[in-house]
Structure 1
Amino acid sequence: MATTAQPSTPPPPAAEPGEVIEVESSEAGSPDAGSRSSSSGSGSGRSTSEYSGWVYHLGVNSIGHEYCHLRFLVIRGKCVAMYKRDPHDNPGLEPIRKGVVSHTLMVEELGRQKVNQGDVYVLRLYNRLDQTKKGEIACATSGEARKWIEAFEQAKQQADYDLAKGIKWNRLQNDNEFNLDGHRPRVRRYAQGLGKLVRIGKGPEMLLRQSSDLQSRERVNTNFGGDTGDALEAHEWRFVRTLNGIRIFEDIANSKGGKGILLKSVGVVGANPDTVFEMVLSLDKHKRYEWDMLIADLELVETIDGYYDVVYGTYEPKYLNWWKSKKDFVFSRQWFRAQDGAYNILQSPVSHKKKPPQHGYERTHINPTTWEIRRLDTSGSSTPKCVVTRMVEISLSFWDRWKRRTSSQFDRSIPFALLSQVAGLREYFAANPALTSDLPSTVVKPKASEPLIIQSELEDSEPNDEFYDALVRGESFEDEDSDDDDDDDGVTTPTAGKVKLKNVSWAIAGFAMKRSKASLERSELVTNSIPITFDPSHFHGTIRRAKSEDDPNSWSVPGGEKFMIRGKTYLTDNTKIAGGDPLLKLIAVDWFKVNDRFDSVALHPKSLVQSEAAKKIPFILVINLQVPAKPNYNLVMYYAAEKPVNKESLLGRFIDGTDAFRDARFKLIPSIVEGYWMVKRAVGTRACLLGKAVTCNYLRQDNFLEIDVDIGSSSVARSIIGLVLGYVTSIVVDLAILIEAKEEKDLPEYILGSVRLNRINPESAVAI
């Protein structure tokens, strides 16, 4: 995107935090001073960005009535303002709400909700240290919600930067923090130079739209753009046939935990993932008639939450004409969006009391299926593209029977109709080019008369984080989802975000490039210290260590070679390598059940950390995963260092750093080794920055750091964990914990700790 000439301003006068500083709009029109403005101020030489667009402001008034107001929201730097009209079209318009973003702001996605007779996507904003400062906004599409989350994340990073500079944040925060529940003082700052003006959404007409019309009635071939990522999976996909120009694959691994054979169709659709996602979830029969040959009508039965609903559908036998009667079905839909913008939709047959069997219809169970939608790189093209994968589970005997018959008979089956939906979407968007454009995100020259609030000093200096799917055995190492920005130090990252292994096998390259444990200890731990010898008999958790691979309700330590981490040259070529042995040693795992949230486990008198043996350990990392359920669970893992931590290392800076630094670096890679395939697709194998996904609280004392991970703070995470708990006794899951390396001196990355949880039984949790 092109940037624009920057407006000039005189040096700002000294002011106390919270003092109003007026911007002289007459000075903003001087083009000659633009470069002076962008290179002064913070001294970073970077220009600032502005994000703006229409949203709904949701809330409850003083007499308890719910309201829903159409508002224009502007974010520039860490400054936020809300208007009744677009201030770009109404010069001099005063905002009705304004303030600055706190570094403790949290943005939670609440999913789809019904507002003004239409489906919108709701975001909840709150201060994790002050729950009275909260509010909700709603966006027209999931893609817009993602863009607003990114805009608020940019504002938080600006606040983090100011905090690191020593600004007296507490006073500024108390006076001027942006609060959707109350009016705040006017905040105006001198312009530092506007680099781009990003408009989110297509305008108020999208928010005011009506709801959908709901009617009551061989070896692996993997060059298909499949998942690539941060952990290895066991699926092996073999190409078996082409249907309507879409390739069909069969999972020949037949991994444990499945109830049948898996088929999937994969195709490239000429639209962005957000648009395709909206189309798949749409209940509008007139649209579905254009791409879906199976379903005649869909009706929403119940909304469980913003990411989960139940739908009733019917279909006619005239297109799949070997039936003798009309069919109907009820199924549930769960959907998730990963941190890289990829979507997963899970669909399972269910029964519902509101929809008993209907007269004239034969009730049937539609196959368990999933949708996976992820963006493809379209550099040099104005048309967005995404890879759409439709995965279907069928019985093994059914598939074998159809493989032995002619394809014309298979073409009359329900699995065929489900797999053909990818081809239907591809043709639908090809025939409707007006639907294929990306969400508006334009760069324009700011007008001299625009009286908008102005950003503070520095735009985020680090590249956007990248997340890759797990590497399926034998798959390609390319992922087209990356859109990293250039780094401050002039290091430019490739545009396509491809994982390159320099034309050699990933295993050879990974083991050749990864750091040895001895090398890690030299850089992360104090070298001239005598290592501590751990006696396993001194450390006991409520879950025992596994005696064998099949030992249920136990834990073990998997090797790091199945996890893909950033290599030494990642900042220049995005190379990822196989991980090595964990730096820290897992000494115990606890499994608790509690009525209320259990924080600060390490301070409990009976905690392992408080034992005499643990006090002799140089450093202990306590990971407390707080699992929301009835009752709540706490999975607590204790990792120990044999030597003191080097204060200047990445680990040392993480241990004693700020919460903002920790949130931006604390990373987890999950991988379900064994389990039902739909649970695998829901959890995925993409790396996740936990500090950005959920609320993490940190306790640093004595010789330990405890990280309390509140999984219940995210509605998306709650939905996923609810699905996992339903299958937990049959799941084997690996977790790898890392500190993300964003600077060359910290590369290559290393695995801080890992754990394998083997079929954990909720009934075995110890009450606290």
Structure 2
Amino acid sequence: MATTTTTKPIAAGGEVSEVELSETGSPDVGSQSSGSGSGSGGGRSTAEYSGWVYHLGVNSIGHEYSHLRFLVIRGKSVAMYKREPGEEPGIQPIRKGVVSVTLMVEELGRRIINNGEYYALRFYNRLDQTKKGEIACRSPGEAQKWIEAFEQAKQQADYDLMTRGVSWNRSQNKNELNLDGHRRRVRRYARGLGKLVRIGKGPERLLRQSSDLKSHEIVNTNFGGDSGDAFEAHEWRYVRTFNGIRIFEDIANSKGGKGVLLKSVGVVGANPDTVFEVLLSLDKYKRYGWDMLTADLELVETIDGHYDVVYGTYEPKYLNWWKVKKDFIFSRQWFRGQDGAYTVLQSPASHTKKPPRHGYERTKINSSTWELRRLNTPGSSTPNCLVTHMLEMTPSFWDRWKRRHSSNFDRSIAFALLNQVAGLREYFAANPALTSDFPSTVVKPTASDSLITQSELEDSEPNDEFYDALARGESFEDEDSDDDDVMIPKAGKVKFKNVSWAIASFSMKPSKASVEKSELVTNVTPVTIDSNHFHGTLHRAKSEDETNSWSEPGGENFMIRGKTYLTDYTKVVGGDPLLKLIAVDWFKADERFDSVALHPKSLVQSEAGKKIPFILVVNLQVPAKPNYNLVMYYAAERPVNKGSLLDRFINGSDAFRDARFKLIPSIVEGYWMVKRAVGTKACLLGKAVACNYLRQDNFLEIDVDIGSSTVARSIIGLVLGYVTSIVVDLAILIEAKEETELPEYILGTVRLNRANPDTAVPI
């Protein structure tokens, strides 16, 4: 979908309508006021996002529909129109509602609708999943823009809830909220909301052109290499250049792989969203422009929105040392990271719908991965994407080529795959219409610029949340006799000071003493935590080689935000964890199991556990048959400082926790494709999956529902297939967003050494 982003700052003194929560919890319409005012939300300017989407659903007689609609988000209010309000003044929304702090947005991935490829989003209430609705966009990048827009709306709802709760909490406990600690964050947030953002160029270009979604947000990393937030064992060595594309070999001899890893790296003049769409497209006329091997593809089966199986044929016209026609089947899994980077996994597969074909020789395509990362070149408005294609091949063939430099490699499947990067580069160079990035248009808004007017908000239903509005049944005539409906057509055409992580950063890592001083009460005698008093179902490793065990690594293998991150995006090596890992449980159950800490046999409920000042319980809920629970218990030897970042996280709202709870994964040992799928980038768990929080007594439990996301389910399914042969490190932390919160510190770490699902204890 062709898309541009239009940002229009609120002019000084410009009037905007406000939505506030009254004492009864109903949204009231506040008086129009200037964007620089103060008070209980009266002067907060609100963000407005708008654009074209497809509303998906089932009407009263069971007919599936997909209607083109104009969606507007203003503050926490949402309205859906049949036509664009700016072009038809006075038009009334056909659906409207509000966003609550319990709204969850799940990316469902690619979906075939009326022979067109779209990217669907599902909305639901995490407390009541019967309340739900779906929309679809033409590109994954645009879907991500809507996710961010709804996240802003949740922040607005959380702000209103927090503002309403101030008087209540003050009457109960004066120390419950620290207004001084939150004030700077709230002011910064309010300033950042004074804008109108347009997502999408409109239905004409939406229907007729492929996506050129523009991403103008600040990206905090320079993707000049395999950058991440944890160190990897790969050691890449340049060996040759083909068609201007560099070829590298992994010489680290990492454990868990069966062959030699090669990768080709090149810069493509387009944004990652556009490259991704071309890469996954099955349109042979597009693929003929850049792909000499897998251009003739057809879809065999769609597993889910992030996983499919394709069948392809190849006639040996160019790799002419082949004597027969070839066909092949492979699966494709793809993920979009929170930083906008894409990972695509391709593996040989088989399928009953595609048995061996007469006249063709069935062959296997090398296991491979694609990684697409945006490159931000200072002073350049041209979009650039770093494309990395990594594949595995047999050591004997590669060694023969290196010794003899046989020309046969230039006519092998591996060469054809590595050369696809060069094909993509030239394809986009020859099609400049696909590669341009238009700058944001900045204008001053007028009174008519607001797409959701005050009068429209006055008659909105107080308790009608957004997913209720989507799911609320309308008449069959309203949905299907709409003369303006457009049916979905067939598919058409950390910034680092040093890329090598900078050895000097080791001297910049936060010291545990300084972290403890700011986060914990240091003028009291620490509680002695005897590990002999705490035993989980997964035992602690006595040696590095012990399998089905856990240990507690330090933070030196992780990169976190440094003191100057807000100005130069520099990350530093992590220091020692603030909290001590005292036990790990490995459970299995027929259904997802919450509130582990309340179980009578939980170590949190033991006499020794009750004496600990604070315990953080992280319950990773792994969807499988049966379901698994990996529960980690982190203890503080001292009480938590009032007003500290940790205190605000422990006693704050769920929305605040969702926006701050971060996990950094790292596969230390294991199969290379699992490593690429998991990656090493930090992930805000509350934005990726549903997290439920239980705050009682001396503990906070975080139940992480991995099954709430199709992307997370797909990744965890891959990991479980190799879990008995991998070693994984995890670091948890609270993301720092203010200068006073920097540098970041690591809350806790864990190393899981070749966990065995069969040893999980029933609960």
Q: Which residue in 2 is equivalent to 1:239?
A: 238
SS in 2 for 1:637: strand
Q: Judging changes above 3 Å, is the alpha-carbon distance between structure 1 residues 533 and 289 closer, same or farther for their aligned structure 2 residues?
A: same
Out of 494, 502, 505, the position equivalent to 1:506 is: 502
Quick one: distance in 2 between partners of 1:439 and 1:144?
15
Q: Which residue in 1 is equivalent to 2:594?
A: 599
Deviation, 1:530, is 1.5
- Deviation readout 1:282-332 (Å, 9 max, x if unpaired): 000001011011124100000000000000001111111110000000000
Q: Which residue in 2 is equivalent to 1:636?
A: 631
Quick one: distance in 2 between partners of 1:131 and 1:561?
40
Is residue 79–residue 454 contact of structure 1 (8 Å, CA) maintained in 2?
Answer: no
> Where do 1:134-533 residues align within 5 Å?
134-166=132-164, 196-205=195-204, 208=207, 225-406=224-405, 408-438=407-437, 442-446=441-445, 448-450=447-449, 452-453=451-452, 498-500=495-497, 506-510=502-506, 512-533=507-528
SS in 2 for 1:113: strand
Q: Which residue in 2 is equivalent to 1:38?
A: 35
TM-score normalised by length of structure 1: 0.84
Deviation, 1:197, is 3.4
SS in 1 for 2:527: coil
Quick one: distance in 2 between partners of 1:193 and 1:281?
35
SS in 2 for 1:166: helix
Quick one: distance in 1 between partners of 2:639 and 2:688?
30
Quick one: distance in 2 between partners of 1:505 and 1:314?
43
Q: Judging changes above 3 Å, is the alpha-carbon distance between structure 1 residues 302 and 207 closer, same or farther for their aligned structure 2 residues?
A: farther
Quick one: distance in 1 between partners of 2:594 and 2:89?
50
Bigger shift: 232-241 or 518-527?
Answer: 518-527
Higher relative contact order (CA 8 A, sep 6+): 2
Out of 114, 124, 128, the position equivalent to 1:126 is: 124
Q: Report the AA paired with residue 164 of structure 2.
A: G
SS in 1 for 2:628: strand
Q: Report the AA paired with residue 284 of structure 1.
A: D
Deviation, 1:233, is 0.4
Q: Which residue in 1 is equivalent to 2:680?
A: 685
Q: Report the AA paired with residue 536 of structure 1.
A: S
Bigger shift: 358-367 or 528-537?
Answer: 528-537
Q: Which residue in 2 is equivalent to 1:220?
A: none
Quick one: distance in 2 between partners of 1:509 and 1:21?
51
Q: Judging changes above 3 Å, is the alpha-carbon distance between structure 1 residues 23 and 136 closer, same or farther for their aligned structure 2 residues?
A: farther
Is residue 673–residue 733 contact of structure 1 (8 Å, CA) maintained in 2?
Answer: yes
Quick one: distance in 1 between partners of 2:729 and 2:19?
55
- Deviation readout 1:422-472 (Å, 9 max, x if unpaired): 01000000100001134896444545445621599xxxxxxxxxxxxxxxx
* In the alignment, structure 1 residue 748 sits paired with structure 2 residue 743: yes
* In the alignment, structure 1 residue 619 sits paired with structure 2 residue 630: no
Q: Which residue in 1 is equivalent to 2:752?
A: 757
Q: Judging changes above 3 Å, is the alpha-carbon distance between structure 1 residues 643 and 6 closer, same or farther for their aligned structure 2 residues?
A: closer
Quick one: distance in 2 between partners of 1:630 and 1:440?
49
Deviation, 1:131, is 2.6
Q: Where do 5+ consecutive residues of structure 2 fail to align?
A: 1-6, 169-189, 212-221, 458-493
Q: Judging changes above 3 Å, is the alpha-carbon distance between structure 1 residues 678 and 205 closer, same or farther for their aligned structure 2 residues?
A: farther
Is residue 116–residue 208 contact of structure 1 (8 Å, CA) maintained in 2?
Answer: no
Is residue 197–residue 444 contact of structure 1 (8 Å, CA) maintained in 2?
Answer: no
Q: Judging changes above 3 Å, is the alpha-carbon distance between structure 1 residues 744 and 422 closer, same or farther for their aligned structure 2 residues?
A: same
Is residue 8–residue 197 contact of structure 2 (8 Å, CA) maintained in 1?
Answer: no
Q: Judging changes above 3 Å, is the alpha-carbon distance between structure 1 residues 313 and 618 closer, same or farther for their aligned structure 2 residues?
A: same
Q: Report the AA paired with residue 429 of structure 1.
A: F
SS in 2 for 1:753: strand
Q: Judging changes above 3 Å, is the alpha-carbon distance between structure 1 residues 553 and 20 closer, same or farther for their aligned structure 2 residues?
A: closer
> Where do 1:659-674 residues align within 5 Å?
659-674=654-669
Deviation, 1:380, is 3.2
Is residue 621–residue 704 contact of structure 1 (8 Å, CA) maintained in 2?
Answer: yes
- Deviation readout 1:471-515 (Å, 9 max, x if unpaired): xxxxxxxxxxxxxxxxxxxxxxxxxx62226x99733332x2223
Quick one: distance in 1 between partners of 2:543 and 2:21?
66
Q: Report the AA paired with residue 690 of structure 1.
A: L
Q: Which residue in 2 is equivalent to 1:491?
A: none
SS in 2 for 1:411: helix
Q: Judging changes above 3 Å, is the alpha-carbon distance between structure 1 residues 206 and 554 closer, same or farther for their aligned structure 2 residues?
A: farther
Q: Judging changes above 3 Å, is the alpha-carbon distance between structure 1 residues 362 and 595 closer, same or farther for their aligned structure 2 residues?
A: same
Quick one: distance in 2 between partners of 1:194 and 1:676?
44
Quick one: distance in 1 between partners of 2:729 and 2:295?
42
Q: Report the AA paired with residue 331 of structure 2.
A: S
CA RMSD of aligned residues (A): 2.8
Is residue 92–residue 451 contact of structure 1 (8 Å, CA) maintained in 2?
Answer: no
- Deviation readout 1:316-374 (Å, 9 max, x if unpaired): 11111110000000000000000000000000001100001100100000000000001
Deviation, 1:743, is 1.9
SS in 2 for 1:721: helix
Identity of aligned residues (%): 78
Quick one: distance in 2 between partners of 1:274 and 1:237?
26
Quick one: distance in 2 between partners of 1:10 and 1:154?
17
Q: Where do 5+ consecutive residues of structure 1 fail to align?
A: 25-35, 171-190, 213-222, 457-496
* In the alignment, structure 1 residue 610 sits paired with structure 2 residue 620: no
Deviation, 1:129, is 2.3
Quick one: distance in 2 between partners of 1:628 and 1:529?
42
- Deviation readout 1:502-536 (Å, 9 max, x if unpaired): x99733332x2223222322222211221222222
Q: Report the AA paired with residue 159 of structure 1.
A: A
Quick one: distance in 1 between partners of 2:744 and 2:663?
13
Is residue 9–residue 196 contact of structure 2 (8 Å, CA) maintained in 1?
Answer: no
Quick one: distance in 2 between partners of 1:452 and 1:168?
31
The alignment covers a number of residue pairs equal to: 685
Q: Judging changes above 3 Å, is the alpha-carbon distance between structure 1 residues 210 and 651 closer, same or farther for their aligned structure 2 residues?
A: closer
Is residue 269–residue 385 contact of structure 1 (8 Å, CA) maintained in 2?
Answer: yes
Q: Which residue in 1 is equivalent to 2:466?
A: none
TM-score normalised by length of structure 2: 0.85
Quick one: distance in 2 between partners of 1:421 and 1:300?
20
Q: Which residue in 2 is equivalent to 1:559?
A: 554
Quick one: distance in 2 between partners of 1:504 and 1:400?
28
Q: Judging changes above 3 Å, is the alpha-carbon distance between structure 1 residues 509 and 449 closer, same or farther for their aligned structure 2 residues?
A: closer
Bigger shift: 151-160 or 254-263?
Answer: 151-160
SS in 2 for 1:545: coil
Q: Report the AA paired with residue 153 of structure 2.
A: A
SS in 1 for 2:411: coil
Deviation, 1:677, is 0.5
- Deviation readout 1:382-421 (Å, 9 max, x if unpaired): 3211100000100111100112233632211111110110
Deviation, 1:201, is 2.5
Deviation, 1:605, is 0.9
Q: Judging changes above 3 Å, is the alpha-carbon distance between structure 1 residues 375 and 643 closer, same or farther for their aligned structure 2 residues?
A: same
